[in-house]
Amino acid sequence: MEESRQVDERQLSRNLVPLPMVVEDEGLPDPRQGDVDEWGRSERVRSFIRTVYEPMYSKWFRVEWEHFDRIPAEGGGLLVANHAGAVPSDAPVIMHGIESRLGRPVYGMADYFFRTVPFIGTMWSRSGGVAARPENAERLLGEQGQLALVFPEGSKGPSKSFSERYHLRRFGRGGFVEIAMRSGTPVIPLAVVGSEEAMPVLFKVPALAKLLGTPYFPVTANLLAMGPLGIVMPFPAKIKISVLEPITFDVEPGLERYPRSLVLEQADRVRELIQEQVFEMLRSRRSIWWG
């Protein structure tokens, strides 16, 4: 079954993902020329990236999904995953996998820091990156029924060193739970294995991070093994992604505020579930490279 899926996945990735109708059309002329949507995502750019990234996805990382059918084919969903590797491979892999299989866009929420970087910030935005603001996520999920991918560990995930691998960091202040509650969308937890070994962080240089204004400056094994190429090139670790049972919160959507204790409790629960699943997958993993 996994085999047949991979075939039509490759076919799909060449076709354009149809963009969903966002607002009711009142027949106003809209003489647009480009295809950049209101989030800055361009389907043409995404489609090009999917074509280029496909060998990376299927040959280099040989990505395998478990319970892919738990990802909704339509309607909003907040994908929550663990985050790892100095330049994390988990985000592009998850976005590529879902977009090519389901033919629907995935918006990757990340630090607003990207918006300040010329060229990279624009590319990031065109390829589906959105600044992680609760207002943005709620509009995407609630009003537009899209898929949004968040990493609640934030930059604390990818910046942790190799000795702490697969130990999930604190899930922020549980903002993602509040977003899901307010927009009335399910949380879909994803456990990712392999991303830690793709780009292990040996040590960090805080002074350089400060100088460059980046959230962190890691020295990776890739950097030592491959030189400058190691900045972008991950090791070919086998990446496995397990989709956990979607979680819907039993609260009224659209409220201004939710009880802090409930939010933190639920955030912790999601974190525990992902952590447990990651350990489970590591227990059955025989080889870093072959899975």
Partner 1 sequence: MGLMGRRVLVTGADTFWGGRVIQALEEEPTIDVILGLGEHDPSVPFERAEFVRADQTYSILHRLVRATAVDTIIHTFLVSDSTTVSSRALHEINVIGTMNLLAAAGAEGSKVSSLVVKSSTKIYGANERDPYFFTEENRRSTSAHTMVERSLIEAESLIDDFAQDHPEIAVATLRFANVLGGGLRTPITRNLSRPLCPTLLGFDPQLQFVEATDVVRSLEHAVKRDLRGTYNVAGRGRIPWSEVVKLAGARPLPIPAVHHKLLMRPFQAAGIYEMPDELADLLRFGRGVDTSKIEATGFRYRATSAGAVQSFTEQLRLDRSAGRSPTTYRYEHDVEQFFRHSPAVVDRR
- How far is the C-alpha of 238 from the C-alpha of 61, rounded, in Å? 5
* Least distance from partner 1 to the Cβ atom of residue 42, Å: 9
Give yes or no for a contact between 149 and 81, defined as CB atoms under 8 angstroms apart. Answer: yes
Q: Which residues are within 8 A (CB) of 70 and not within 5 positions of it... i.e. 6 or more apart?
A: 188, 243, 244, 245, 246
Nearer to partner 1 (CB atom), residue 40 or residue 128: 40
- Least spacing, CB of residue 184 vs partner 1, in Å: 17
**Of 108, 251, 243, 248, which is closest to residue 186 (Cα–Cα)?**
248
State both tokens at 162.
């190799």
Distance CA 250, CA 50 (A): 37
CB 14 to partner 1: min, Å: 25
The smaller minimum CB distance to partner 1, of residues 97 and 128, is found at: 128
The contact set with partner 1 (CB under 8 A) reads 23, 26, 28-34, 36, 38-40, 112-113, 115-119, 121-122, 130-131, 133, 135-136, 139
What are the φ/ψ torsions at residue 107 (nearest 5 degrees)?
A: -100, 125
Provide the minimum distance between the beta carbon of 277 and partner 1 in the complex, in angstroms, as a whole number.
32
Are 187 and 178 spatial neighbours (Cβ–Cβ below 8 Å)?
no
Q: Which is nearer to partner 1, 144 or 277 (CB)?
A: 144
The nearer residue to partner 1, 68 or 258, going by C-beta atoms, is 258
The tokens describing 24, both together, are 């009711």
CB half-sphere exposure, 149, CA atoms < 13 A: 25
Q: What is the rounded CA–CA span in Å between residue 19 and residue 245?
A: 27
